[in-house]
Structure 1
């Protein structure tokens, strides 16, 4: 039984009954990045009470959106094929919300999974297909990501590694991605700090990841 019953019959209503509870869609967002243990989900959603996380996982399992999967000696949560069908919905919602993003409040953080989904949202495969393969080692707040672009394929993973361009940036990276700030100005104003590699590759990054505000 759905946690909510709106008393209406329709696709949108049913979708909200299944994933409309608080935190549910953020759990789906993080699982779109990859399977997660319970503790990893809790760490990525630091403000979620443990009883709410347990309840949402139980509800999403009952709805057929996620499942528990044994991996060696641990159990992880992963999306079912039905749950993975939410990916275009999540990306479209992210693009819509990006237009009203503004500056973060003092207590808000960037997580690796949230930034991964933001990068997927902003990725332009049709542009990347015409560019040479490029890898970026990035630090967005506490999120350290290795971004590999090869033609129209995008791979984002946690951690560091060999890269053509390594840079760090604050939340103001959104100004670069939106086109509000040119790559050279982003470097000159300190929004982006080039750690190693060719700084001019930031222009390629800005072409590959673009989302108008």
Structure 2
């Protein structure tokens, strides 16, 4: 690849870092895991990245056959970026990296969380044993993204949908409208659902018990225990 200084190492891990180890590269891949996005959408979902750096990462990922650029047909006629089939194979890498990293004692959620991130977190932190025998549908309206989570016999399928019907019109048992940060708090931090609803941070259509049961199927693992030689212990 032109213009890049790569690790001189034949290990596959080193090659992987050569391909997606640049700053923001995996963030871009993460944001494309749920489907194509325009440049402006990626820029909005990654507020810490400059337009120049985003353009550079996209060019590099396209050169490396991880991302491709295509034009949507009329009436949209917009240019979008999407993962190649090979690029999409990075999802389990990102999921496992996330599951490993949240065990860090330094893990916190003070920063912004994207809609894609909270959807992927559900795929990452799902507990099949907690969903045994469960058949449940819950919808989420997260900013511009509409998501449906389906739990069936201990398995989870969660991702974007074109539209969510209200529960009373044949939609999922419950539909929640909120932000990614508030939803993460409900799923993982024990944030009281009633408190979120009363404050207006979230609104709920349908069966409250269905949402509570859905949230019980997700967890955060315990932080990694520090060793005796850990500076934090001194």
Is the 2:130–2:217 Cα contact (8 Å) retained in structure 1? yes
Determine if the alignment matches structure 1 residue 203 to structure 2 residue 208: no
Deviations 1:39-84 (A, max 9, x none): 1111111121111111111111111111112211222111111111
Deviations 1:100-133 (A, max 9, x none): 33241xxx22221221221221234565462123
Determine if the alignment matches structure 1 residue 39 to structure 2 residue 17: no
Gaps of 5+ in 2: 167-171, 223-234
Is the 2:126–2:219 Cα contact (8 Å) retained in structure 1? yes
1:176–1:98: structure 2 CA closer, same or farther, 3 Å change rule?
A: farther
Between the aligned partners of 1:194 and 1:144, the Cα distance in structure 2 is 15
Q: CA deviation at 1:16?
A: 0.4
- TM-score for the superposition, normalised by structure 1: 0.79
1:59–1:133: structure 2 CA closer, same or farther, 3 Å change rule?
A: same
The aligned counterpart of 1:136 is 139
The one of 79, 90, 95 equivalent to 1:91 is 95
Between the aligned partners of 1:212 and 1:115, the Cα distance in structure 2 is 16
Q: How does 1:118-197 map to 2 (within 5 A)?
A: 118-124=121-127, 128=131, 130-137=133-140, 145-151=146-152, 152-157=155-160, 161-162=165-166, 163-167=172-176, 168=178, 171=181, 174=184, 177-178=187-188, 181=190, 186-187=192-193, 190=195, 195-197=204-206
Q: CA deviation at 1:165?
A: 2.2
Q: How does 1:97-116 map to 2 (within 5 A)?
A: 97-100=101-104, 101-104=107-110, 108-116=111-119
1:32–1:133: structure 2 CA closer, same or farther, 3 Å change rule?
A: same
- TM-score for the superposition, normalised by structure 2: 0.73
Q: CA deviation at 1:206?
A: 2.2
Between the aligned partners of 1:69 and 1:194, the Cα distance in structure 2 is 37
Larger radius of gyration: 2
